[in-house]
Amino acid sequence: MQAFTSVSLNYLPKARVLAESLKRQHPEAGFHLVVSDELPAWLVQAPAPFDSIIHVEQLPLPQIKGWIFQHTLVELCTAVKGEACRWLADRYPEEPLFYFDPDIVVLGRLDSLLAQLHHADILLTPHLLEPDEELDAVLDNEVCALKHGIYNLGFLGLAPTPEGRRFIDWWAQRLNTLCYAEIDRGLFTDQRWVDLAPAFFPTVGVVRDPGCNVATWNLPRRQVTGSVAGGLQVNGHPLCFFHFSGFDSGVQKIMLDKFGGHSPVLYELRDWYVRECQRLGQDALGNTRWAYGYFDNQEPITAEHRYLYRERIDLQRAFPEPAATGNVNRSYYHWFRQETTKPDIVDSREMLQQELAAVREELERIRNSRSYQVAERATKLVSGTWLRRRAA
Amino acid sequence: MQAFTSVSLNYLPKARVLAHSLKRHHPDAGFHLVLSDALPEWLAKSPAPFDSIIHIEQLPVPNLKGWIFQHSLVELCTAVKGEACRWLADRYPGEPLFYFDPDIVVLGPVDSLLAELQRADILLTPHLLEPEDRIEAVLDNEVCSLQHGVFNLGFLGLAPTAEARRFIDWWARRLNSLCYAEIDRGLFTDQRWVDLAPAFFPTLGVVRDPGCNVATWNLTHRQVTGTLETGLQVNGHPLCFFHFSGFDSGAQKVMLDKFGGANPVLYELRDWYTEECRRMGQDEFGQLPWAYSSFDNGQPITLGHRRTYRDRFDVQQAFPDPASTRNTDFCYYVWYDHEFPPAADPHEELWRQLVEARQELAQVLHSRSFRVARRAADLVRGHWFPPREAS
């Protein structure tokens, strides 16, 4: 069995907690880390507890620097998952492959998932397994799943089969071109794409074990009991893995308070997780600055920089290394600053005023011409006042 | 077997074509029409080819007038589907139930679907059964599915089982409160909700027969052959039902030209369908205005009217009959106008002046005085001022 996760460096402590937690249950498992950030030499030299480090810049993507630039942090750390699956499936062609989000901890053996991979090629965990009852939960959880994806891609299980591979190839292709968080376009990172999987891949398996991928969004229907020391149960089943999604932003705490009231042991689990992260370097690494968040002159790369670059192939061609600022005349940074600080070329108010003046001028020219005045007097005499002139 | 469709009156001819087409292959089937529009007396009296008409105002939805007002036409005609399923499942508890969009025609027996309902409780047809190959088709079809729903709810098959009923009840509840076309909120009518169904309902069946729900969005992977007389095949399977989605708007033609690969039989089918609709009253009904599209003073109900009303619970309570303007001192129409005066666009005044000036100029240029003056000037001086092209 091989498993991997995908991080920027500030998530390294969490990824370590995850890797250790999986190896505690499955000492035989290989665990790999995909890093979408600067790759420190010390990590390459001593990768443990990871069996290998896959750096984003190693992935076989054309124009890798431009591609990285097109993505925000969350987009990038999810976009690499497709190519990373290909990479690992190529190197471990006989073994089941699992992906876990770095903020997951494995608390029980994955035997039921391994068994399910004998008849399903792709395993997915829906955010929710049962409809919610309260309108509040419907909005928080069901509508949220519609926006962000039915299945939580914090977990993915793949069998070493041609059909598993067909899924990987399709998914990787989509993530290579459209792994963006743009809900109004129907996109949300790697996750919305997988809503299509049950249509495209008949052997998708939906994991219905309530002990898998327990998170605040499914707590209305999952009650956690037991103790951290003695083992945890979900609706009576062993807790297999828990997902601390939204931990650093504080959302996890808010949603735990909202939906976890029936499971006080989750606060104990949360405290344990905080201590584990601390033990594995949270203080030293938790605030590491994301290397791809800055131009090489240390100016921050904004969302606007990224959006414009990803929409415009001409810019991608002109600036294949968009984060480089060395050449003032050929850098995206300088181009962008010049373009966006220019006064608006098309001031619609000004244009409206110009056109209005031109039309009025022409009207005046006609009305003031002698021949028109003569003709108008003549026609008025003939047919009364048929031409209704407005007051000027 | 019972089946139904859901329409406003302008879709009545299409619904008739559909009902006839199903009954041609299944004379035993009951076919019902859900109508979200004014119900004409003649239709209530002689509903054939429909076995019954379910009028929206019969449905057990609380605050019905307000509820109707909250929905645009497409939203309303899809929102009623949940309650209509409940209604029909209550009345025909032992029978499988099918929904078809009114712009579908059934071209072969649905036996394989009936067989599948022995194993699956809920049958759905994905817009696409296979990934697309070209980026253009990915954007047109895969991304479009992500925005509008993975499964096309132009078709739905339900077994007469407890599990199917659990689906109906869940779906109907969601449609009663959130059946809106608001893609940025993750909603698209009745269709996006069903993306959740594979997670909630383990016995759901995905229909993989390429002959079902053939439409322009899946033509890239479906080759239609045969003739109308002898029968049509899709990738070698019998064509079961075809979906003329976007027919009136012209989108069907545009996408057929794009993805139909100049397949003459698809155009032949299209011509046949046009003719069938005409035979069933397209000329008479096709342009009928929707009864719920205006206030009772004749003013159109805008999307702004509907959205404000649906987002504001206090407004719903204050105006339970929002389309009524009889009480001018206290009606939604007047309240809305007062609450949301036309947006103060900084350029609006300039625009108004420009439009007025252009009209005035056009009037002058078309006036007899101007023509006379120009003729006179041409005579006297050759050119008066530069002649205008085509004014």
Q: pLDDT tens across B84-111, in order?
A: 999 999 999 999 999 999 999 999 999 9
Mean pLDDT value of segment A228-233: 94
How confident is the model over B281-302, as pLDDT tens digits? 999 999 999 999 999 999 999 9
Residue A146 and residue B130: Cβ atoms within 8 Å?
no
Whole-number pLDDT of residue A347: 55
Mean pLDDT value of segment A35-47: 97
Coil/strand/helix, residue A309 = helix
Higher-confidence residue: B192 or B256?
Answer: B192
CA angle B115, B119, B123 (to 5 degrees): 75
Whole-number pLDDT of residue A358: 85
Backbone phi and psi for residue B229, each to the nearest 5 degrees, phi listed first: -70, -45
> How buried is B311 (Cβ within 10 angstroms: 0-12 exposed, 13-18 middle, 19+ buried)?
exposed
Q: pLDDT-derived band of residue B1, with 50, 70 and 90 as boundaries?
A: very high
Coil/strand/helix, residue A156 = strand
Q: What mean pLDDT, rounded, does chain A reach?
A: 92
Shortest Cα distance from B391 to chain A (angstroms)?
13
Shortest Cα distance from B105 to chain A (angstroms)?
23
What share of chain B has pLDDT > 90, as a percent? 79
Backbone phi and psi for residue B98, each to the nearest 5 degrees, phi listed first: -120, 140
Q: pLDDT-derived band of residue B156, with 50, 70 and 90 as boundaries?
A: very high
Mutual angle of helices B303-311 and B332-339, in 10-degree steps: 100
- Residue A220 contacts residue A247 (beta carbons within 8 Å): no
Shortest Cα distance from A14 to chain B (angstroms)?
28
Higher-confidence residue: A103 or A391?
Answer: A103
Cα distance between residue B234 and residue B256, in whole Å: 15
Other CB atoms within a 10 A radius of the CB of residue B330 amount to 10
CA dist B144 → B137, B156, B314 (Å): 10, 20, 35
Cα distance between residue B33 and residue B319, in whole Å: 30
Coil/strand/helix, residue B100 = strand
Q: pLDDT-derived band of residue A389, with 50, 70 and 90 as boundaries?
A: very low
CA dist A238 → A118, A120, A252, A276, B204 (Å): 21, 22, 22, 21, 27
Q: Which residue has the tokens 């993505």?
A: A71
Chain A residues touching residue B142 (CB < 8 angstroms): 174, 196
Whole-number pLDDT of residue B385: 42
How confident is the model over A141-182, as pLDDT tens digits? 999 999 999 999 999 999 999 999 999 999 999 999 999 999
Whole-number pLDDT of residue A384: 42
Residue B199 and residue A349: Cβ atoms within 8 Å?
no
Cα distance between residue B201 and residue B182, in whole Å: 25
Within an 8 Å CB–CB cutoff, is residue A360 touching chain B? Answer: yes
pLDDT exceeds cutoff 70 at B390: no
Coil/strand/helix, residue B2 = strand
Residue B200 and residue A353: Cβ atoms within 8 Å?
no
Residue B369 and residue A387: Cβ atoms within 8 Å?
yes
Cα distance between residue B36 and residue B68, in whole Å: 9
Cα distance between residue A167 and residue A122, in whole Å: 8
* Range name among A122-126, A373-377, B164-168 with the lowest pLDDT average: A373-377
Interface test with B, best of A200, A209, A352, A373 (most B CBs within 10 A): A200
Beta bridge partners of B6: B34
Closest Cβ–Cβ partner in B130, B135, B364 for A366? B364
Which residue on chain A is closest to B179 by alpha carbon?
Answer: A143
How confident is the model over A200-225, as pLDDT tens digits? 999 999 999 999 999 999 998 999 99
pLDDT exceeds cutoff 70 at A87: yes
pLDDT exceeds cutoff 80 at B120: yes
A143 secondary structure, DSSP code: I
pLDDT exceeds cutoff 90 at A136: no
Within an 8 Å CB–CB cutoff, is residue A128 touching chain B? Answer: yes
Shortest Cα distance from A303 to chain B (angstroms)?
19
Q: What mean pLDDT, rounded, does chain B reach?
A: 92
Q: pLDDT-derived band of residue A388, with 50, 70 and 90 as boundaries?
A: very low
Residue B346 and residue A365: Cβ atoms within 8 Å?
no
Whole-number pLDDT of residue B382: 44
Whole-number pLDDT of residue A302: 94
Within an 8 Å CB–CB cutoff, is residue A348 touching chain B? Answer: yes
Chain A residues touching residue B361 (CB < 8 angstroms): 359, 362-363
Whole-number pLDDT of residue B344: 60
Show the tokens assigned to B288: 């009928």
pLDDT exceeds cutoff 60 at A391: no
Within an 8 Å CB–CB cutoff, is residue A169 touching chain B? Answer: no
How confident is the model over A337-386, as pLDDT tens digits? 988 765 544 456 777 788 888 888 888 888 888 778 877 777 655 544 43
Interface test with A, best of B146, B179, B345, B385 (most A CBs within 10 A): B146
Mean pLDDT value of segment B34-54: 97
Closest Cβ–Cβ partner in B135, B150, B353 for A199? B150
How confident is the model over B306-365, as pLDDT tens digits? 999 999 999 999 999 999 999 988 999 999 999 887 666 667 777 778 878 887 887 787
pLDDT exceeds cutoff 50 at A314: yes
Mean pLDDT value of segment A269-287: 96
Residue B369 and residue A378: Cβ atoms within 8 Å?
yes
A vs B: CB pairs below 8 A: 161
Mean pLDDT value of segment B150-172: 98
How confident is the model over B357-377, as pLDDT tens digits? 887 887 787 777 777 777 766
Interface test with A, best of B348, B370, B383 (most A CBs within 10 A): B370
Chain A residues touching residue B206 (CB < 8 angstroms): 198-199, 202
**Interface predicted TM-score (ipTM) over 0.90:** no
* Range name among A264-273, A372-381, B94-103, B162-171 with the lowest pLDDT average: A372-381
